Structure 1
Amino acid sequence: MSTTENAGYLTVWDDDGSSQLEAQDADLIEYTVDFTTGFKDIDGDGAGELLSFQPPDNDKRGLQVVDTSGGEATLEWRYGPDEPLKATFADVDDGSPGALVAYTTLGEVRAVDATGSELWTTDTDLSDAEATMIDVVGDDTTDIVLWTGSDVAIVDGASQDVTEFSIDSSIRSVTDYEQERLVVETEEAVTVIDLDGTALDSKSLQRQPSDIVTGDIDNDGTIEIIIGFSNELVAYRPNLAPEEPPNPLSDFDPAIHGFGFQNWSGEGEFNPPHNHETIAEDTFNTQFEQEWLPELKQNTSLPLPASIATQIADALYETLRQGPENVYSDGHCFGMCLAAQQYFENGVPDTLPAEISAAADIPRPTGEYADIGGEIDELHRSHALNSNTAVEMKQFLSPNSSQNETAYDAEKEIEAIRSAIKQNGTALIGIGSSPSTSPDDSYLHQLVGYNVEVEGESLESADTAYIDVYDPNYEADYYTTNSQRLEIDISQPTDMPLVNNDGKGYIFRYQRFALVGPRRTDFRGAVIFTSKLWGDYLENVLENILGGYMIIWANSPVRINATAPDGTQLAHPDEPVDEIPPSEIVYLSEAPAGDYEIEVEGIGTGDYMLNIKSSIKDGGQIDKQVIREITEDETQMLTATIPENPDEEGTISEGRGSELPTDPGEPTFRDVLGVIRAYNVDGRYNGVKVSFRDVLEVISAYNAE
């Protein structure tokens, strides 16, 4: 059936084109309310009625029901006298057909039965509103949605309950989407909202649509929104998938998979049957020689004399054994975390009593559970001494020089931790303080992460990330009513991410976090332990543990000697290093800033290359190469200057940097001691071979002060 209306004329055709109704009556059909509901037989006479109205300036104003039986239009009844904003046929009285009417100036909604008698009236707070009639509440009755500005009122056609709310923008139109959801058009967007005004999904608008309808256009069971413009249609499928509750990425539960005892030290509450307070130096030296030293030599260009390697081993041993990063006597956090991961994945050892089903059931690491304590200690020791782990901890948790800060990326660490949790159920996390923020308070600690959340739509746009962790400093029972969560402020510069845990213990003590341990395959892949990181780590060790260094090496046909600013002669190694003869290498630990006099003696004729590398603790550095020609028995002098300012790069110059201080008042007491020491060992001071006469002149100049 189709209809045509024009200035009081109404024609109705059947589907075969035959005329069913031709009417001309301005009083009845000039203002037809709604054809979308078709004709509805509300009086049971077998013929359909339609709705129309007369405007307020007409003495017949109000809602009209027009009978169309017999092919003519006759008034069945009128309800008014006010002009309705919107009206529709609906089941309004126990399933009987009638009309629902909304009034624009009164903020009212009324229901009228099949005879024109009023059934009920409901007030809303919206005057001068617009309205639409749809079943949105979800009770299979027609409801009324009114709106004005940004305010919305929904009247339940069945119960007459009124729901009112506001949204953020002024509304242009409202369309039904599906039960308990609406589509609202504003100037900025088309948005799906629920019945309290909460936005569920939105599509931005660049121009105003001419119409908006909804429907399942591809028959896939999902309602699309069709937006009509003057020259195109846009079909938009809202993303209304229900939000999943914030479930962790893993089934790990610290109340179950954490240990029933807390982290302990060698002198704590427990007394495991092993010497945890220290470790034999030869054990460490063996691991250093077999694992650490080959890595260091393979990944750095520095020739490392045996004495320097020994100094590194000794210094590392003392640092690890006694320092603030003590991995032997300050606790078992590394081992407890690794063991908790293993027991979570594989179950507790079958040697335990049958009633022990999880780590939380193990009450202590001693007595009948001493084997657990021993396993934790072995895991702790072996991984803490692992060279790769040491580089991780130094580079990513407590870098000590500015050039190493760039190796750290907070966002990538979070992503690596999240990936590890997805793959394995947990991630071993190290946290540490950065000397740039805590220069006098350096700590390292290990945790087990089992969930990552970000504040925002994605990690890239988030300012804050959260990592739920098991901290072995708390026993499993603690986690039945409490939790530990790291709060990562990733809006900070990448060299200073801030780690908090909601005020429960860490606060500002730890500023760094990273994925550590044997499963760090890493977002950087194989490059995690490349030459650069190992080289940076070695320089960090030489600079901070050995108090700075200077290494100079050359190739034939020369031999070299060098003198430090205080007159100290740089040492030659006792044996070749990386096939470089001892005469072509000199080195010094605890090297000071200043001028280094370098004597190059030709033992043949040809080109030679001199490598000079130094980094001074709290001072500058130099990394230079010099290529020269030399003849046999020729001596050339160079001066390498290491600045005291750590932001400055050292320089190389020809000749001696300075002569002996022999002007009256020029020498210092250190100069006097330096020339005397050089004379006694037949050596040099300030690059000058010191004679007895030189000693007298320097002493005389000092006394002249």
Structure 2
Amino acid sequence: MDRRVTRRDFLAALTAPAAAGAVSGITRARSESDAGGFTPIEHGYGFRNWGAEDQYFDSPPAPTQAEIRERIRTKWVQQARAVLGLDVGALSRAMVSAIATQLRAAVVQRAGTNGHCYGMALTAQRYFERPETIPVNRRRASEIEVPTVPVDEPIAPVYDEIVQRQADQYLRFRAFLARQAILYRDWIDTEAILRDVGNVIERFGTATLILFNNTLLSHQVLAYGFEDRGDSVVVPIYDPNLPASAYRRRSPRLEFERDGESVSMRQYGQYTGMLFSRYDRIEDAADRTAPTPMDHVTVDQRRVRESLFPFTLVVATSEDVDLTVVGPGGSQIGRVRGVYTDRSRGEYGRVRSQHGAEPGTYRISVFGTADTEYELTAMVTDADGASVDAARTETIRTGDEHEYDLEITQEGAGSLRRVRTDRDLPALVGTGVAGVAAGAVGYRTVKRLRERDRHES
């Protein structure tokens, strides 16, 4: 029996509620596939984006590091050359391995388990545009009450598609490159992004948007309208963190203010910035040949290439430790993450990374939240090879702290070594040794940042 519904059946059932679901004051774009346009109460999912307490499968699918390395070596070649003038084949094995490690952690901890906003937005968009592709016996996404329907069968096609689409943001080169702009906010051309978002919504009815803030927290929503008021822009959105039923009383939207040549986004929840990375849709909507992430930044290819290398990655294998890394200038190294990031998944419970490696001392703190054994790995790589590729295995008790110095020289060499801990600092600082005093400053910065992170989480 064919469990799918036809486009005609879907549209016939949708006519009345679609007219009632319009957002007041917003001119909503209409999709070619649905004369009524997208409305979250009809086309959003009946469930919300899920967190650690809502595990649906113990072992969701995820690519291996070897598979990701192969993808970088093969699938990224053409676009990397076209977009950045980058020869992926010339990248060192260490560089590719470090990127693959970071990507696998991102997929497993956010895409493969909790935090499926990207996959939910993309599949909700697909089911709106082509309702005949809904793989279960439901007419629209709002009728899908859990991602694992049909619950009485071992298959879960909706869940599988959400997970696969979620992973795409990390494994496709243009999407990967676009997300790097989160690390370089000053480069982002918000006006150019809004122009493309408006064109895509006018053409297709919806546009998937990446939201982020200065703490590298990110999220995905689906825009379904666009109103340019001259000095401001209003964009109504479907936020996967809310189930479809919530839109009976809520109408979330993004707002942007123009001030001369600058454009700023009003804070939406925790988020203060926006990206858009559906370049295939931009090409169709704007009649522009081969759009790329470079269209949405104010710097050139050379600057972007230089920003990617070298690459610094620090990881710890246990989820029972807190990991903090502070650079030579006192700034904390973090990672792009989501609200529902699940650090219990994958080989590395804690990940810190940055593009670039300023010479100097990086203070690494490993704080035990339970008695455990951990392996700490530090990698600093560039196109030619690895200047640091070191690992240390230790046992730590609850409440103890282990500290390490990752040294990177002007010449590009480096090392990782264990250093003295908090209780040793007063006597050592009193000796007047400059290096130890610098270490004490690094320690105090680590302690302050660790306490702040624990409070925020």
Superposition TM-score, scaled by structure 2 size: 0.55
The structure-2 alpha-carbon separation of the partners of 1:286 and 1:548, relative to structure 1 and needing over 3 Å to count, comes to: closer
Equivalent residue for 2:235? 467
Name which of 510, 519, 539 aligns with 2:306.
539
Q: Does the residue aligned with 1:252 lie in a helix, a strand or coil? A: coil
2:186 maps to: 405
Corresponding residue for residue 313 of structure 1? 100
Aligned with 1:285 (options 69, 80, 83): 69
Compared CA separation, residues 332 and 492, structure 1 to 2 (3 A): farther
Instruction: Give the superposition deviation at 1:469.
Output: 0.5
Shift in Å, 1:271: 0.7
Equivalent of residue 588 in structure 1, options 366, 369, 387: 387
Taking the aligned partners of 1:492 and 1:270, their CA distance within structure 2 comes to 47
Cα distance change of structure 1 residues 444 and 668 upon mapping to structure 2, 3 Å threshold: closer
Q: State the Cα distance separating 1:259 from its structure 2 match.
A: 0.8
Q: 1 CA distance for matches of 2:260 and 2:183? A: 17
- 1:424 corresponds to: 204
User: Which residue of the partner structure matches residue 633 of structure 1?
Assistant: none
Seen in structure 2, the aligned counterparts of structure 1 residues 279 and 481 have a Cα distance that, compared at 3 Å, is same
Alignment partner, residue 42 of structure 2 = 256
1:480 to 228, 241, 248: 248
> What is the aligned length?
298
Q: Distance in 2 between matches of 1:442 and 1:468?
A: 23
Shift in CA distance, 306/476, structure 1 to aligned 2, threshold 3 Å: same
Question: Any conservation in 2 of the 1:391–1:534 contact (CA below 8 Å)?
Answer: no
Counterpart for residue 208 of structure 1: none
Structure 1 partner of 2:292: 528
1:519 and 2:299 aligned: no
Quote the residue 1:415 is aligned against.
Answer: 195
**1:380 alignment partner AA:** Q
Report if aligned partners of 1:410, 1:490 keep a CA contact under 8 Å in 2.
Answer: no
Task: Summarize deviations over 1:218-274 as a string: whole Å, max 9, x none.
Answer: xxxxxxxxxxxxxxxxxxxxxxxxxx9744223111110111111124x34251485
Deviations 1:393-444 (A, max 9, x none): 222xx133xxx733x22222222111111111111111112xxxx2xx2111
Partners in 2 of 1:565 and 1:376 — Cα distance? 42
CA distance, structure 2, for counterparts of residue 478 and residue 565 of structure 1? 50
Question: Which residue matches 1:271?
Answer: 56
Segments of 5+ residues of structure 1 without an aligned counterpart are 1-243, 551-563, 567-572, 578-584, 597-613, 617-666, 671-705
How many angstroms apart in 2 are the aligned matches of 1:254 and 1:419? 20
The change in CA–CA distance for 1:352 and 1:296 in structure 2 (over 3 A counts) is closer
Instruction: Return the alpha-carbon distance in structure 1 between the equivalents of residues 218 and 385 of structure 2.
Output: 36
The code of the aligned residue for 2:274 comes to F
Q: Is 2:107 aligned against 1:345?
A: no
SS, match of residue 545 in structure 1: strand
Deviations 1:136-160 (A, max 9, x none): xxxxxxxxxxxxxxxxxxxxxxxxx
* Matched residue SS, 1:513: strand
Q: Measured at CA, do residues 317 and 491 of structure 1 come closer, stay the same or move farther in structure 2, by a change above 3 Å?
A: farther
Counterpart CA distance in 2 for 1:301 and 1:334 is 27
Q: State how 1:63-74 maps to structure 2 within 5 Å.
A: none
Say which of 366, 375, 379 aligns to 2:148: 366
Change (3 A) 1:350 1:465: closer
Superposition map of 1:230-249 within 5 A? 246-249=26-29
Aligned-partner Cα distance in 1 for 2:28–2:48: 23
Q: Is the 8 A contact 1:338 1:428 kept in 2?
A: yes
Q: CA deviation at 1:304?
A: 2.9
Deviation at 1:344, TM superposition (A): 0.9
Whose helix proportion is higher, 1 or 2? 2
Q: Distance in 2 between matches of 1:442 and 1:669?
A: 31
Query: d(CA) in 1 for partners of 2:356 and 2:183?
Result: 18
Q: Which AA in structure 2 matches 1:480?
A: R
- C-alpha change, 1:542 and 1:317, in structure 2 (3 Å) is farther
Question: Any idea what SS the aligned residue of 1:262 has?
Answer: coil
Q: Is the 8 A contact 1:394 1:537 kept in 2?
A: no
How do residues 266-665 of structure 1 correspond to structure 2 at under 5 angstroms? 267-272=52-57, 275=60, 279-292=63-76, 295-296=79-80, 299-300=84-85, 304-318=91-105, 321-322=108-109, 326-349=110-133, 351-353=135-137, 356-368=138-150, 370-395=156-181, 398-400=182-184, 405-406=186-187, 408-433=188-213, 438=214, 441-455=215-229, 458=230, 462=231, 464-491=232-259, 494=262, 497-501=264-268, 506=269, 509-517=270-278, 518-521=280-283, 525-526=289-290, 528-529=292-293, 536-543=303-310, 545-546=312-313, 588=387, 592=408, 594=410, 596=411
Percent identity among equivalent residues?
20
CA 1:533 to 1:295, structure 2 compared with 1: closer, same or farther past 3 Å?
A: farther
Which structure ranks higher in relative contact order (CA pairs < 8 Å, sequence separation ≥ 6)?
2
* CA deviation after TM superposition for structure 1 residue 340, in Å: 0.9
| Cα gap change, 1:391 to 1:565, in 2 (>3 Å) | closer
Structure (1/2) with the larger strand percentage: 1
Pair 1:448–1:309, CA change in 2 (3 A)? same
| Alignment RMSD (CA, Å) | 3.9
Name stretches of at least 5 consecutive residues in structure 2 with no aligned partner.
Answer: 1-23, 31-36, 314-353, 362-380, 389-405, 415-432, 437-457
- In the aligned structure 2, how far is the partner of 1:421 from the partner of 1:338? 14
Amino acid at match of 2:171: L
Change (3 A) 1:320 1:539: farther
Contact 1:259/1:361, CA 8 A, preserved across alignment: yes
Q: Deviations over 1:52-91 (max 9, x none)?
A: xxxxxxxxxxxxxxxxxxxxxxxxxxxxxxxxxxxxxxxx
